[in-house]
Structure 1
């Protein structure tokens, strides 16, 4: 990044970091209308159509790609055919298909009504594999009381599993939990460590959280305007260039 690039410092407005020029970074586990994780992956979904009737169900990365593609389809027939393929794969134990069904039921589509109970059931089927996306979404549901009683400690437990699996979204939300003492003992040092881990994976909101912490001397950090500017610029870069994980 060029040192001459203009820096747009951020302010916190209603739980969202707003950068100069209007760019916003959501601090919650969910954005209005969708999941940050699902939004990142949708563009990377394979363009292949849902499986033909009678074809073997998809498995592994094929099931994952189909799941994300279904989030973009408008034709009810294609969506329902794809859901049938995923359900057959999920019943046969394919973890990616189970996670895909959980994600779709959690989001909801025009031809597939949102169903938190079914979403949670499929995600729990995938949970023994420690799949980071399954753990992440289960954590968000526990955090928000979606289909289950709100339980900050249970949410933090799921976020810990997802973070160990490499999920930057989970790292960010777990950092928020340590920062606030929500479900875990308050620990600023642990929060900074997790924000940094998420930031290394180009998580914009984690980078902006570090920028604000250095700007105002929060989380046990000394005020450092240079570090604040650096993290703000990295956050802006991450918004524009963050790549979908493999």
Structure 2
């Protein structure tokens, strides 16, 4: 009975380690060139389905850029938005840019979410949007200057890649 309880507690921890290791393996395959890309996509998909935001992000990038198969922007956006919902800031930023021409409200949502996580590229893009009055923002030089400063600060404190 005690053994079964220990196994129930240990299983999620072991699974998390397996998923993290699988993501590392998939990243190595992805970066090894076209020979490992198809296998990387499969590993990322398996890990993403098991809850990995990083895996969903990398799978979205691979689909967007046609790595390991044909490009598929619809599937790429779906995986990137899943990663974004799992708090992966680069996925929020890329999803915002993919949506900018078709759904400005959702694009701004993801850009603002990435800004809230202090993602430098998102802060810079919002600063430019405020400076130029784009993305549905009114021109606001004071707010733009603030976002430029925030972007500069964030560049010195970059988060590690997912």
TM-score range, shorter chain: 0.7 to 0.9
Pairs aligned (count): 149
Q: Determine helix, strand or coil for the equivalent of 2:105.
A: helix
Corresponding position: 1:232 with 2:148: yes
Q: 2:113 is matched with which residue: 172, 192, 197? A: 197
1:211 to 127, 139, 143: 127
Change (3 A) 1:243 1:136: closer
The normalised TM-score by structure 1 is 0.57
1:199 touches 1:207 (CA, 8 Å); kept in 2? yes
Whether the aligned pair in 1 keeps the contact of 2:131 and 2:139 (CA below 8 Å) is yes
Seen in structure 2, the aligned counterparts of structure 1 residues 139 and 243 have a Cα distance that, compared at 3 Å, is closer
User: Corresponding residue for 1:141?
Assistant: 62
RMSD (CA atoms)? 2.1
Once the two structures are superposed, what CA deviation does each residue of 1:53-111 show, in whole Å capped at 9, x if it has no partner? Answer: xxxxxx577x5xxxxxxxxxxxxxxxxxxxxxxxxxxxxxx2111111111111239xx
| The structure with more strand, counted as a fraction of residues | 1
Unaligned runs of 5+ in 1: 1-58, 64-93, 181-185
User: Does 1:187 find its partner at 2:111?
Assistant: no
Give the distance between the partners of 2:142 and 2:35, measured in 1 at CA.
45
Question: For 2:20 and 2:157, how far apart are their aligned partners in 1?
Answer: 26
Contact 1:130 1:162 survives alignment (8 Å): no
Match of 1:128?
A: 49
Sort the Cα spacing of 1:114 and 1:104 in 2 relative to 1 into closer, same or farther, 3 A.
farther
Displacement after TM superposition at 1:156 (Å): 0.5
Runs of 4+ in 1 over 2 A off after TM superposition: 242-246
Q: Residues 218, 240 of structure 1: CA spacing in aligned structure 2 closer, same or farther, 3 A cutoff?
A: same
Instruction: Tell me if 1:223 matches 2:139.
Output: yes
Deviation at 1:114, TM superposition (A): 5.9
1:192 and 1:210 in contact (8 A); partners too? no
CA contact (8 A) 1:202 1:238 kept: yes
Query: Structure 1 stretch 151-160 or stretch 125-134: which is displaced more?
Result: 125-134
Residue 158 of structure 1: how far off its partner (Å): 0.2
Measure, in 1, the Cα distance between the counterparts of 2:149 and 2:74.
33
**If each structure's helix is expressed as a fraction of its own residues, which one has the higher value?**
2
User: Once the 2 structures are TM-superposed, how far is the Cα of residue 243 of structure 1 from its aligned partner?
Assistant: 3.7
Normalising by structure 2, report the TM-score. 0.84
